[in-house]
Every structure is written in C-alpha cells, then in structure tokens.
A and B are shown apart, each in its own frame.
Chain A
Amino acid sequence: MLLDTGSRVAVVGGGPAGSFFTYFLLEMASRMEIELQVDVYEPKTYLQPGPAGCNMCGGIISESLVQYLGAEGIILDSDVVQRGIDSYVMHMDAGTVRIDPPGHEKRIAAVHRGAGPRGQVNHRWASFDKHLLGLAESLGAHVINDRVETIDWVDGRPRVATKKGEGGVYDLLVSAVGVSGGGLKLMESMGIGYQPPETTKTYICEFLLGEEVIEQYFGSSMHVFLLDIPRLEFAAIIPKGEFVTVVMLGEGIDKELVDAFLGSPEVRACFPADWSIPEEHCRCFPSINIKGSPRPYGDRVVFIGDCGENRLYKDGIGGDYRTAKAAAKTAIFEGVSEGAFRKYYGPTCKALATDNSIGKIVFLVTGLIKKLPFARRGMLRMVAGEQRSPGSGKQMSGVLWDTFTGSSSYRSVFQRTMHPLFLGKLVWNIIVALPRRRAIVGQ
C-alpha cells in the first residue's frame, strides 16, 4: 500500500495537526517527485470571532516548536504572532519571581488560534490555524469548507461525504479532528475499532485590556500561578495583542473554581487596581487529550494530533507537529498499511505516551509543592537566588521553564530534578526558608 502519483489523500480537520501533515506530506512528495491530490476538510473559515471560528486553546507556540519551525523554513511573523514571550513570572502565595532564560530572546509565540475572541474589533492579527492552513494550500492542498458527515469504506478504501455532497474515495484518510467537537464520534462510526483518547476539560477565557495596559502589567512574560486552590492544577495568563488569555487546568472546572482563581489576591495583583471582570467576555471549556488512543492507525487511516496522541497539558501544537510529520513521513516513504503505521508511526506515539507518564509524575510533584507552604517557599527562594546571580547554575529556573512552557520533554525535566546537585540545593533552600515561616507565624 504505497502512495504514488495520482493518489488521493483526505485530511479531516484543518487545525495545526491537519495543516502540518498536509504541508509535510506535499513537501516530501514533491522531493520524491510524486504528485498527490490532498483534500483538507475543515468547516471553520477562521474568519469569525469567538468559539465558532476558533479551535479553542491557550495559543502558545513553545520555544522548541518555534525553533523547529525556523529550521523547517517556516517563519512566524508579527501578523500572526501577537506577542513574543521571553520570560515568565511565577506567582505563589509566598511571593512572585520573574524567570529570564539566558539570551533574553523572544522564542515563544502567543497567538490566537482563531479570528480572535468574541467582541474583538481590531483584526490586525491573522488566525494561527488559518496561517498554517494557508501554508498547506500554498503547496497545492485543496481546502473544502464543509463538515464531513459520513465516512465508509468502498473496496477497502475510505469514502468521505460532506453535508453539501462533496467528498470521494481516497487512498488514505488522515483524521486530525479535535477532541472537543463531534469529530471523535464520526471516527468511531468508521467501523475500524478506533478507541478515542481519554480527555479532560480545561477553561479558557479572554479579557480585553488594550495594548498599553498589557504592556504595562504583563509585558512579554507568561504569568504562571501555583496557588493552593482546591481542584486547581495549574493556571496561566498569557498576554496577547489586545487581550490576555487565562488558561486553567484542574478537576471539574466550574464557575466556583474560576471565581476562586480570578478573585485570588495573586491574580488581582496582576491587573490594574480598578479592573473588574467584565460581564461579557469570550470563554470556553475545551477538552484536551490526557491519554492517547491505543491504536491510532489502521489500513489506509491514521489519527494524528489530539485524536491520536499528544503531549500532556503543554505544547499541544508541538505534539501536533510531531505526530503529523511522523505520519506524513510514514505515508510517503513506508506506505499506508496498518503495518507501516504500526512500525514507523507507532514509535512516535509511544514516545509521547511514555513521556506523558513521566509528565504525570512531574505534575504530581508540582501539585505536592503547591500544597506544602515550606516547599513553596524553598522553591521560590531557590529560583530567586538563581535569578539574582547571573553566573550561577539555573537548575530550578530551567526545570520550571521547561515544565511550564513545554519547551522540553518531561523525561528531561525529571532527569534534571533527580540530579544530586538539584536535590541538594532544593533541600538547602527549604531548610533556610523554614525560619521565615516561624517568623511569619509569630507575627
């Protein structure tokens, strides 16, 4: 089962996974002098503000992905990137510390996935997803703005049909659907035994503050919150162009938890004193993949991005890039049979899944630190010390940077936290920070 000139490929879903797949498939096919016909089915035009024109997500392109894309020749310009991020500020009840990586270079991109939040009036920035889809189109992909209604099989080949009657029979079907919409049900109905990934809900909302206020209060830093609020795993505020995006991860996120977070003194201190939560603002509860599909492939079908396997909590677009490119390479060089995908695409999914298992431990430890006041103070002291001394090692800063920005694998983060020097410094800082607790308690 090999793709050859004239082969037809259907990509269902024109988010980052689908666009990356299409881009790399067509690029590799061109190098191999194979002419493919690729149809990308995407009902969104990414022109409508609000959730209808958006594949809801925090909109962070990690430091590692920005570099990979640079090496791939893909430049992200300021008509798509709303803010280049060069640092992050960690907020805890024990204090706040700003972490600057060496080089002070803006290598994290804050974008809006869609046309921007509901209520947006200034359309200065293009949708990131539309930008990527445009790259795929520039290599010859045909985008069909319609929702796929059915997928069935004709002589062992997938047949796609949309609401408006578009579609056809293909040599390869690529599922790049998200986990928030109805795409997973469609894939389950294909009759190939596809098991969807396990998911959890996140909360994202956008506040219009204007460029000047954002510059003054948030700058080019991502703001990360490690607060001891029950059910809250992690939260961040990401400055964009005229909006800030609030992202929350946790258990059963509801209005009560959102209010507890937004009303906390640490969050309030980030905003202007006279600011209050506007009645009307864009918000959504998108799902994310927390455990991938056990077999994200079959004969002439492959599942990429969130509907297959992805990175846990962070760098979802980086995970899209990895699975999309691995699937494209397999399709061009190894074929489109289940065996080819198992042998050549499967290891990429497995590597992500293994790293996610380590990530669960990393987040478990982070959760523990969040709950223990003395550990929080010790960690804060260690980071603050590292940031004050330019020449010293930045073990904790580096670990936190990679954990919160998703710039490195969880395995690498975990290995660094197991280093005796790291553990020794942390224990020392916890011990030194202990008397402060007594002083505070005694006051």
Chain B
Amino acid sequence: MTPARKKRFGLIVLMVAGVAVGVGLALKSLNQNIMFFFTPSEVISGKAPNSKLFRMGGMVVEGSVRRPGDGLTVQFGLTDNEQQVTVKFTGILPDLFREGQGIIANGRLNDSGEFVAEEVLAKHDETYMPPELADMKMGEGN
C-alpha cells in the first residue's frame, strides 16, 4: 500500500471502530432503559420481573381506591377484566385518574406481590386510549 492509501485505510478503520463503539453504547444504554409492559394477568402468572422496573396497564377497579393512613399514599386495584393486582402509589395522581378509567403505571413488584408505582399515567383526552390498553379488548365504551 502506498503511504496515502495506508493513511486513508487507517482513517477508515478508525471511523468504523468509532461507529461500532457508538452503536454499541447506544444499544447498551437502550437496553438498560427499556421498560417492558405487562397486563395484570401476566403479572399474576409470574411473567413480570421481580425487582426490575416495568409498566403495567389496565382499568382502575370500581370502588377500590383507598387511602390507608393520612399521608399521600393511595392504593387501588388494577384489572384487565381477568386478574387484579394491587397498586400502591405515593404522590399526586393525574387529573384524569378515576375509577373505571384506563391507566398505565411505572414501577416494580414488592415482596407481597403488590405493585409499587413510581409514576401513574392517565390519558389526557376523553377519547384517547393507550394502544396497549386498546389491545386488551376492554368492555368500556371508549
């Protein structure tokens, strides 16, 4: 190889290596920040991870919203019309959180099988339904 070619070859190798490292890092950080989505039935059947963050979606069970204690902690049942999981959340619920409404919660399971939510998301449009929930064929007239 001529020196000029050698230089160009070196440059290309460097660039390819740079791109490879970049893509590798991107995929790694992507994988670390992915949250999987599970339905209450899947959670009950043990498909959800035990200590990792994940998302769970479903309908808030009518009459299940309770505030144990006098703090900000709220507790409610989340269902996909087959199974039900108890969700605990400390903080302020979104405006459109209601019983019988579809929501998505981010969080993880505790030892007693309750879902401790770090964040609760409700739709913010009367007719909007998160695609995950729409797939669940819920009986609601949305």
A and B from one assembly? no
